[in-house]
Amino acid sequence: MLYKWPRLNPVAWRSMTREKLSTHLLKNNVNDNQSVFGWTPLIFAARNNSNTEVIQELIDSGADVHEIDQNGHTAMSHAQGCGNSEVIKVLIRNDTLI
């Protein structure tokens, strides 16, 4: 699917409260709605958000931590590439492949 979830730039993403962001993403399905890059909301969050509560809520709501984007990268590889150490810890705790 191409970009079904409403666009959010990183500034808007970071400024949203946990509840508002989680509601926004969950309302738009945590797995099926991928961007043009094949990014699920979890991948987008792993790249752009250090709010571990949002990451955990996405996972608790069914986000597939093993989902890959169009280049074969997971949320973990995106978090590693961005140096997002707190997100990496949450993904490891949730049995994410490294």
* CATH assignment at residue 76: 1.25.40.20
Residue 81: CB partners within 8 Å, gap ≥ 6?
47, 73
Is residue 3 situated within a structural domain? no
Whether the per-residue pLDDT at 92 is higher than 90: the answer is: yes
- How is residue 41 written in tokens? 């909301």
- Local confidence band at 42 (pLDDT 50, 70, 90 cut-offs): confident
Of the candidate ranges 2-6, 21-25, 35-39, 46-50, the one whose mean pLDDT is the lowest: 2-6
Number of domains in the chain: 1
At how many degrees (to 10) do helices 52-60 and 41-48 cross?
A: 170
**Owning domain of residue 44:** 10-93
Is residue 59 situated within a structural domain? yes
